[in-house]
């Protein structure tokens, strides 16, 4: 099977595509892949490291206000579609899979015009602009949240989950908190605002330091490589110190392995984070980012809260007091934490990659 993959802009669009490729390779060792990304997105740094053939297109998003840049956006899109057609004709894929981002819009639109089967994957509970644009002519649509089904034609939409969940569920970890001077025998609160950190979460953690110093559980804050210096400066200016069981780190590069050793996770409510934590059955405190399209993180978080799988704090309500209150509710209450762990496991679709593969296979065979 020959599969062209396209998704870009953020890791949330890229990692599901790469996880899918790994699962396909497990099932079909002779499968061939071509990944088409953009010049501007982080995929240019991520995909080449996998060894997968990688090509790029120039695309950009539309401005929400009336702007001359939108004329350039249309021009770049049409040019990208023309270039994508050439790539498709050269590679001759059996199916083209899009996981979101503007670049996938050009690639799948080109495939649809060439009558090549297409599959789109929507990771969030609210459909992205690109996927809504492609849905009418897509052959099949896979979704990770039941709420997303309302955005697409019901007859070709299937709940398959996020293949990143299956990848994480299968990972083994020999990670030890002792590598950070902590104990493997204590409950641990892991606070992670994304690879670059989240200022709002960092400031709440800063306020919470005195309370965390007095708790029996451990606290690990991943502040972000560009934000940790500011955190430590403010800590010093406010006359606060960290106890031995409270650690502040710039970055963790093996996050899924570390998550396996956490008791509770504080994080944003992005699709990849939710796929990972539900795959592990990890109780969580979600702080949705208010700065995303369609406020989809709030709706992602709500799906877990409604299932009893997470607590949520809106960013305006987030401060040291609310953070400690939520952490105590889970780390000082075994019954609530265990109940939430069970619900988190129920929400997670740990065979998402297999489901995605079956969906693609059905498209190719038909």
Share of the chain above pLDDT 90, in %: 85
User: What's residue 61's pLDDT?
Assistant: 75
In the predicted structure, residue 334 carries a pLDDT above the cut 80: yes
Q: Which two tokens stand for residue 306?
A: 């409604």
User: What's residue 66's pLDDT?
Assistant: 58
Q: Which two tokens stand for residue 305?
A: 């809260």
Q: Which two tokens stand for residue 143?
A: 């979704």
Secondary structure letter of residue 90 according to DSSP: H
Cβ contacts of residue 364 below 8 Å, gap of 6+? 1, 94, 95, 117
Q: What is the mean pLDDT of residues 76-95?
A: 97
Residue 12 among known ligand-binding residues: yes
In the predicted structure, residue 65 carries a pLDDT above the cut 70: no
User: In the block, which residue shows the tokens 């979460």?
Assistant: 201
Cβ contacts of residue 125 below 8 Å, gap of 6+? 145, 147, 148, 296, 299, 300, 302, 303
Q: Which two tokens stand for residue 311?
A: 């607590």
Look at residues 352, 220, 340 and name the one whose alpha carbon lies nearest to residue 279: 352
In the predicted structure, residue 67 carries a pLDDT above the cut 70: no
User: What's residue 73's pLDDT?
Assistant: 84
245 with 182: CB under 8 angstroms?
Answer: yes
User: In the block, which residue shows the tokens 């990688």?
Assistant: 54
pLDDT category, 85, cuts 50, 70, 90?
A: very high
Q: Give CA separation, 146 vs 125, 129, 318, in Å.
A: 7, 18, 28
User: What's residue 173's pLDDT?
Assistant: 84
In the predicted structure, residue 20 carries a pLDDT above the cut 80: yes
Secondary structure letter of residue 119 according to DSSP: E
Q: Which pLDDT tens digit goes with each residue over 276-300?
A: 999 999 999 999 999 887 889 999 9
Q: Whole-prediction pTM value?
A: 0.86
Walk me through the domains of the chain, giving residue ranges and CATH numbers: 2-162+350-365 (3.40.50.2000), 177-347 (3.40.50.2000)
Phi (first) and psi of residue 157, to 5 degrees? -110, 130
Q: Which pLDDT tens digit goes with each residue over 109-125?
A: 999 999 999 999 999 99
Q: Which pLDDT tens digit goes with each residue over 198-218?
A: 999 999 999 999 999 999 999
In the predicted structure, residue 10 carries a pLDDT above the cut 70: yes
pLDDT category, 195, cuts 50, 70, 90?
A: confident
Q: What is the mean pLDDT of residues 16-34?
A: 97
Q: Which pLDDT tens digit goes with each residue over 33-51?
A: 999 999 988 899 999 999 9
User: d(Cα 133, Cα 137) in Å, to the nearest integer?
Assistant: 9
In the predicted structure, residue 157 carries a pLDDT above the cut 90: yes
For strands 188-192 and 310-312, give the pairing.
unpaired
Cβ contacts of residue 214 below 8 Å, gap of 6+? none
DSSP string, 327-353: HHHHHS-HHHHHHHHHHHHHH--TTHH
Q: Is the dihedral of CA 278, 280, 283, 286 positive or negative?
A: negative
Burial class (CB in 10 A: 0-12, 13-18, 19+), 320: middle
Q: What is the mean pLDDT of residues 352-364?
A: 96
Residue 195 among known ligand-binding residues: yes
User: In the block, which residue shows the tokens 């606070």?
Assistant: 191
pLDDT category, 12, cuts 50, 70, 90?
A: confident
Q: Which two tokens stand for residue 293?
A: 């399209």
In the predicted structure, residue 62 carries a pLDDT above the cut 70: no
User: What's residue 64's pLDDT?
Assistant: 58
User: In the block, which residue shows the tokens 């008791």?
Assistant: 263
Work out the mean pLDDT of the chain and round it to a whole number.
Answer: 94
The residue count for the chain: 366
For strands 264-267 and 32-38, give the pairing.
unpaired
Share of the chain above pLDDT 70, in %: 98
Residue 260 among known ligand-binding residues: no
- Bridge partners, 190 (sequence order): 220, 265
């Amino acid at each position: 099977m020959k599969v062209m993959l396209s998704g870009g802009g953020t890791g949330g669009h890229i990692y599901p595509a790469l996880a899918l490729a790994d699962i396909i390779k497990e099932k079909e060792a002779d499968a061939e892949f071509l990944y088409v990304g953009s010049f501007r997105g982080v995929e240019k740094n991520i995909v080449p490291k996998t060894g997968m053939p990688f090509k790029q297109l120039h695309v950009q998003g539309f401005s929400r206000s009336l702007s001359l840049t939108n004329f350039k956006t249309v021009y770049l899109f049409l040019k990208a579609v023309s270039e994508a057609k050439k790539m498709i004709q050269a590679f001759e894929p059996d199916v083209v899979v899009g996981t979101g981002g503007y670049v996938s819009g050009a690639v799948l639109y080109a495939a649809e015009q060439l009558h090549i089967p297409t599959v789109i994957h929507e990771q969030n509970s609210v459909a992205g602009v690109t996927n809504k644009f492609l849905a009418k002519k897509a052959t099949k649509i896979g979704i990770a949240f039941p709420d997303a089904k309302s955005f697409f034609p019901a007859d070709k939409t299937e709940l398959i989950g996020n293949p990143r969940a299956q990848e994480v569920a299968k990972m083994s970890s020999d990670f030890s908190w002792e590598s950070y001077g902590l104990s493997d025998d204590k409950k641990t609160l892991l606070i992670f605002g994304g690879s670059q950190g989240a200022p709002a979460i960092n400031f709440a953690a800063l306020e919470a330091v005195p309370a965390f110093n007095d708790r029996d559980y451990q606290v690990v804050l991943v502040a972000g490589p560009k934000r940790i210096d500011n955190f430590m400066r403010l800590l010093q200016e406010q006359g606060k110190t960290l106890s031995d069981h409270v650690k502040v780190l710039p970055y963790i590069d093996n996050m899924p392995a570390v998550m396996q050793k956490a008791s509770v996770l504080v994080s944003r409510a992005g699709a990849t984070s939710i796929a990972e934590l539900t795959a592990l059955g990890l109780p969580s405190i979600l702080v949705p980012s208010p700065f995303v399209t369609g406020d989809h993180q709030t709706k992602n978080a709500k799906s877990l809260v409604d299932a009893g799988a997470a607590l949520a704090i809106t960013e305006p309500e987030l401060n040291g007091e609310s953070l400690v209150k939520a952490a105590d509710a889970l780390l000082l209450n075994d019954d609530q934490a265990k109940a939430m762990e069970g619900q988190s496991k129920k929400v997670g679709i740990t065979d998402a990659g297999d489901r995605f593969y079956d969906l693609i296979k059905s498209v190719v065979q038909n």
